[in-house]
Chains A and B, each alone.
Chain A
Amino acid sequence: MPILEVQNIHKRFGRTEVLKGIDFSLEQGQVLSIIGSSGSGKTTLLRCITQLEQADRGRIIVSGRTVFDAGEALTLTKEEKRQRQLTFGMVFQSFHLFPQYNVLENVTLATRLHARELPDFSARKAEILSEIDREARELIASVGLSEKLKNYPCELSGGQQQRVAIARALAMKPQILCFDEPTSALDPELTGEVLSVIKSLANRHMTMIIVTHEMRFAREVSDQVLFMDGGHIRARGTPEEIFLHPEDPRLRDFLGSFQDRGL
């Protein structure tokens, strides 16, 4: 059974229909890359999956449990929505770290707030908080930033900020981690460090969805690739099928534009 099933997602903004019926599924531990030109609907799809946008039609099922259903979206309480949102982690193009907190605090803030809801929080407060702290330090170490625990986001490079953002998303233990063009806001020499963190997550079988313009990276890291065009999935397949034997003419044009620039 796939961990994620996305069924018939439609989304329009005003008169523009951005997503025109998107279906796909993803197996546990797999990495899915979504490619396509700007305005093809990639980011909107990701935002619908992570429920930052509400799709107009469609369903999203994770591990057999419906986490989004356009039909019932309005009847859900705030609390139910919040719990469902936690199925997914999200890493944004421009990081969105909390500027007033240092690296460690950025990673622990949400987990600490969540811990307050535990029934035995007041009884085991010290223990729970030290556990959160320990886990956060491990995560920060795993993205290679143990030296920067007490630094503020404004003191870090873009690549370092994005690695903190990944650690912050992982701290919530999401079942599926989503990346929205995680390296597009970075200087070219800083993309490598972020991509290698994502690769190491793939090696540890984290289920991930990555919207990206890094074709070589998508080819190396993905199990499955979707090519979006005009709100549809125009082509889908393994990296070999998409990058080495593209059949769809639009996909060929799209990939050609990268080859012309030597990417």
Chain B
Amino acid sequence: MSFWDVNVTLMKGLVVSVELFFLTLLFAIPLGLVICLGSMNGWRPLRFLAGRGRSGGARAVCGALGSFMPVRAVCRLVVWIIRGTPLMLQILVVYFGPGLMFHWPLLPRFTAALLTFVINYACYFSEIYRGGIQAIPRGQYEAGQVLGMTRAQTFFHVILLQLIKNVVPPMGNELITLVKDTALVRVISVYELIWMGESFIRKGFIWPLFYTGVFYLAFSGLLTLLLGWFEKKLSYFRA
């Protein structure tokens, strides 16, 4: 077994980890927004964007949602449960739970892991978005309004970039955490980086497991550079 062989094997694990990382982001970023909107239901500037005074059916729907506080209660309950329990436990529950409770067939392991990660991270993201939205002064919405901009124009031309600027630093934190959290899916034997590292123990080598740390460092290092660059791009204004 050469150093080269170890690298090739660990690379295979890294690919799975990276895949999990990007797929989680792909689904959790929009889902987080949905949960965020749900848990901010009834908040005044949001109501403004969601469109009071729309015509006909849209208005009825918005009106119904606006007064339907259970949406908010459910969203906040879910966020509490997900943030309040260990991610590892959630992985086990999603993978084994449906089979044990309803005798459903097991999900493929990677799918179960991905599903757990998407739900978990969407909840964290939703809180970050909420902070980002609430940090934007109401005057920004009002300035758009008195200048005769539509709600959509106000959102896309005024609010969005400030929102992105507000959420980049806390999102960066979460992304770095996500890199390392991918190691947890080893608990249901998804063959990611740590699992691959551990596989060498059977052959009598412990160092490849320790060596996986270098891979995580490289990945999170790259990510840090990318985030730093993006933050700098947005540093020309103060929100």
The interface of chain A, by Cβ under 8 A from chain B, is 50, 52, 74, 76-78, 81-83, 85-86, 88-90, 92, 94, 96-100, 109-110, 113-114, 152-154, 168-169, 172
Contacts and interface: CB of A to CB of B under 8 A. Distances in A.
B137 A77 contact: no
Nearest to A73: B53
B64 to A, nearest CB: 16
Given A77-B53, A92-B142, A99 B162 contact: yes
Give the interface centre of A77, A78, A81, A97 by most chain B CB atoms within 10 Å. Answer: A78
Main secondary structure of the interface of A (DSSP, over half): mixed
A83 B148 contact: yes
A77 B148 contact: no
A52 B139 contact: no
Given A92-B143, A110-B149, A78 B51 contact: yes
Interface string B40-58: 0000000000010111000
B158 A98 contact: yes
B162 A172 contact: no
Contacts of B107: none
Contact of B162 (A77, A100, A114, A169): A100
B104 interface: no
Contact of A96 (B51, B140, B165): B140
A12 B239 CA distance: 32
- The list of the 8 closest CB pairs from A to B, nearest first, reads A96-B139, A110-B147, A96-B143, A154-B238, A90-B146, A86-B148, A99-B237, A100-B237
Given A85-B148, A152-B237, A52 B54 contact: no
5 contacts: A78-B51, A78-B151, A89-B146, A94-B139, A113-B149
B157 A109 contact: yes
Given A77-B55, A154-B238, 8 more contacts: A78-B55, A78-B151, A88-B146, A92-B139, A100-B239, A113-B149, A168-B147, A169-B146
A114 B148 contact: yes
B157 A113 contact: yes
Contacts of B177: none
A94 B139 CA distance: 8
B237 A154 contact: yes
B111 interface: no
